[in-house]
Structure 1
């Protein structure tokens, strides 16, 4: 009887130890997930279309709901213009007048300003979705965070564009050449907040597109175009008198915030994440949480 007691105690201890190990595994898994960056998931087409459409609708709604504080916006424009003169970079008026004298060029810029802002951004999102699904969600988050923080700028710092300044002698190129251009000119001016110039999302979005293409495209010509796109956009927003140079700096700051948010969530910049996400199978899906990343052929890793 005395010999049976130690044996029973050993079995009980073994069961308790086994139960402890069984409980430790899920707890360790949860702790690992909490400590590790979030793993990108395979994007779903219908969800992404809905998300992008809804996000842009909300962005436009909020942006246009910002009170048009005309007096404050004009005062801020005068102050910003004086700061640029102090810094020696207040050449927007000269650029505006010089480019406006070349009709075919300024008309092209008007249409560029009105259309490519949306076309190129959507095209890059589609390209990411199809060719870089593992990086899509992180890049999309950076873009959305950039756009969201820009709304704070519109609320906190109403700013008139150069073409609406009092005595600024800037040319509203859309009105002069009667082109379909800025939503803040002509027949569209009542549909858009005219005093939401800081920050410039034409720069924020175009720089996001350019950096994404430069980092991920394999063709040299595509990478060059990626760098040229935000550069040309900068010239367009100034030539058409829709923004100051410093509005562009505001757009860059918003993009830096967007990438910081994406990095904090995923633990990496978008271009450093795996290009592909393995499809679901009978086994648990591989992820960045301790699993080996999907290996790609050397020629297609970009």
Structure 2
């Protein structure tokens, strides 16, 4: 005696479903693989998003001519915008007074003591003047060249950090004009470039006529030097080179204070701008810049870059 028709039909339906012969309405259908593994077939839109994410994580090799033109054009725009900001001396002096009194309230207003102390050592302050005038550009360009040659897969993201940092700084220059300590009325700071007649800086003397003297907040000497230092620390292989990377922004901080070109708070502003730059790059490439592959195309045989644990843990996940 055979099975009832209803039972046979139900069995056939279950068997067909098990073989994946049915389809489910929606974005895609479920595909059954041998061994029980299943995956959802991607729609064209989902596949495109996946390809975009993958391209962001494995950027193309940068083109030299394009990068040279981009850096040159960007620095030209930076200089033009920075110097085109109206020199609002009254507001700049008022802001300097605010910052100086705020630091005094916090007990960290030691810039004047450092400035006078280092100025008494002639060879040291002269060296710092030349440091301030030259290394700001030399080291930054050197790190960019090193990234381009040795870490092409990370170059574009690292360069983006620098560009965003500088762009945010231009906003600060415009909306918060600030007199540096050496120009603050009644501050009794020593203008070390003027006193020691050193060359190569637009901070004082004839060069001051072509440079905005009230664009001190935030300090791009700190923003750029910290970018260089972190890049060297995370990507260099030799321990002594990594140590130099960390020492560079610290030395720069000492220089900007000793030469009375910046307050402590200007340095904090530079660090905030850099943090925004790193965050923007993270949003674009979906990973932190130093976690990108060293070479383009994703074929990276280098040992993983060591980064803080919180950088690699997804938001909301629990660390063990």
TM-score range, shorter chain: 0.7 to 0.9
Question: Deviation at 1:35?
Answer: 6.0
TM-score by length of 2: 0.80
Which of 295, 299, 303 matches 1:294?
299
Matches within 5 A, 1:1-302: 26-33=44-51, 38-39=56-57, 40-278=59-297, 293-298=298-303
Gaps of 5+ in 2: 1-27, 30-41, 307-320
Runs of 4+ aligned residues of structure 1 deviating over 2 Å after TM superposition are 24-29, 31-39
Higher relative contact order (CA 8 A, sep 6+): 1
Question: Deviation at 1:268?
Answer: 1.0
Given that residues 37 and 265 in structure 1 are in contact (C-alpha distance below 8 angstroms), is that contact kept between their aligned partners in structure 2?
no
Counterpart CA distance in 1 for 2:129 and 2:53 is: 49
3-state DSSP of counterpart to 1:38 = helix
Cα deviations across residues 218-242 of structure 1 (Å, max 9, x unaligned)? 0011000000000000000000000
Given that residues 275 and 301 in structure 1 are in contact (C-alpha distance below 8 angstroms), is that contact kept between their aligned partners in structure 2?
no
Counterpart CA distance in 2 for 1:218 and 1:74 is: 46
Counterpart CA distance in 1 for 2:219 and 2:305 is: 33
Cα deviations across residues 85-112 of structure 1 (Å, max 9, x unaligned)? 0000000000000000000000000000
Counterpart CA distance in 2 for 1:34 and 1:52 is: 25
Gaps of 5+ in 1: 1-19, 279-292
Counterpart CA distance in 2 for 1:90 and 1:182 is: 25
Aligned residues: 267
Counterpart CA distance in 2 for 1:277 and 1:297 is: 12
Larger Rg: 2
Counterpart CA distance in 2 for 1:170 and 1:211 is: 31
Cα deviations across residues 34-76 of structure 1 (Å, max 9, x unaligned)? 5667242210111111101110110010000000000000000
Counterpart CA distance in 1 for 2:273 and 2:302 is: 35
3-state DSSP of counterpart to 2:267 = helix
Question: Deviation at 1:32?
Answer: 2.2
Q: RMSD in angstroms over aligned alpha carbons?
A: 1.9
Given that residues 38 and 267 in structure 1 are in contact (C-alpha distance below 8 angstroms), is that contact kept between their aligned partners in structure 2?
yes
Counterpart CA distance in 1 for 2:178 and 2:214 is: 5
Counterpart CA distance in 2 for 1:47 and 1:141 is: 14
Counterpart CA distance in 1 for 2:124 and 2:173 is: 30
TM-score by length of 1: 0.84
Q: Return closer, same or farther for 1:270/1:79 CA change in 2, 3 Å cut-off.
A: same
